[in-house]
Amino acid sequence: NWWMQGNMEPTASLSILALLLLGLSQAVPLMETQHVDITRNILTINNGSRELLVEGDIVLPRTRNALVCPSNNCFWKKSSNGLVLVPFTVSNDFSSSDRSVIAGAMATFHSKTCIRFVSRTFEADYLSIQSRDGCYSAVGRQGGVQVVSLSRNGCVYHGIAQHELNHALGFYHEHTRSDRDRYVRINWANISPTMQYNFNKENTNNLNTPYDYSSVMHYGKTAFSINGQETITPIPDPSVPIGQRVDLSAIDIKRINILYNC
């Protein structure tokens, strides 16, 4: 396995992570994502996906018609040492450079939270990171093999990988949280009627944290626009930037630590 083994003491990951991060010199540079419209990347790539997606990149089981994540069964379990181990595999379709990008995306979770992505050994529930036909993930732990798709055709960026992994940990998009109307205006006239469901509010647990314009989970201002005009406008200050995919924000990190009692 190219990653920390599932039966390793997680504290040993530092030296392994350091070795992996040496490969980042071959990967897409972190700062490069600042010059790419990542939200548009996700939505454009996913437009042709055969998966049943809502909000652009959230996978729904075909038997469901609404996002449901009951009780704590949707969250990854904490081990006796206080760390939350999330087993995963990575498809052989990814190059060494791609793997380095994914490694770098996971590094922030490892250094700032109690989440540890570990190579699967025998676990029944695990993430299978694949290059399918888009950038997408289910929300929370689903049970069994759970695909996180990072298409090599535009999804293998640091922030996109973090975005999709954060979905897998149980987080929705920021612009759909229950109190969003106090912080952003949804411009329905700029959204196709067939796409407006992507802006439905969710009955979210906001974990007593403020609305986060800088969240890696926030979509950009023109997401799902039919005319190039803004679909999401921050209020009261419309100039506030949204939709970054550079790295987890401080509040993203805080929420993970609250949700998983790190």
Q: Burial-class residue 220 by CB neighbours within 10 Å (0-12, 13-18, 19+).
A: buried
- Are 135 and 149 a contacting pair, CB within 8 Å? yes
Compute the distance between CA of residue 242 and CA of residue 217 in angstroms, rounded to an integer: 10
Pairing of strands 84-90, 115-119: parallel
Indicate if 123 belongs to the active site: no
Binding residues for Zn(2+): 163, 167, 173
- Residue 128: helix, strand or coil by DSSP? strand
| Nearest in space to 166 (alpha carbons), one of 257, 97, 50, 228 | 257
Sole residue written with tokens 């993430």: 127
| Nearest in space to 241 (alpha carbons), one of 37, 54, 41 | 37
Quote the Cα angle for 207-159-13, to 5°. 85
- Are 218 and 212 a contacting pair, CB within 8 Å? yes
List phi, psi (to 5°) of 53. -115, 145
Catalytic residue (choose from 51, 55, 123, 164): 164
| Nearest in space to 137 (alpha carbons), one of 152, 125, 128, 147 | 147
Active site (catalytic) residues: 164
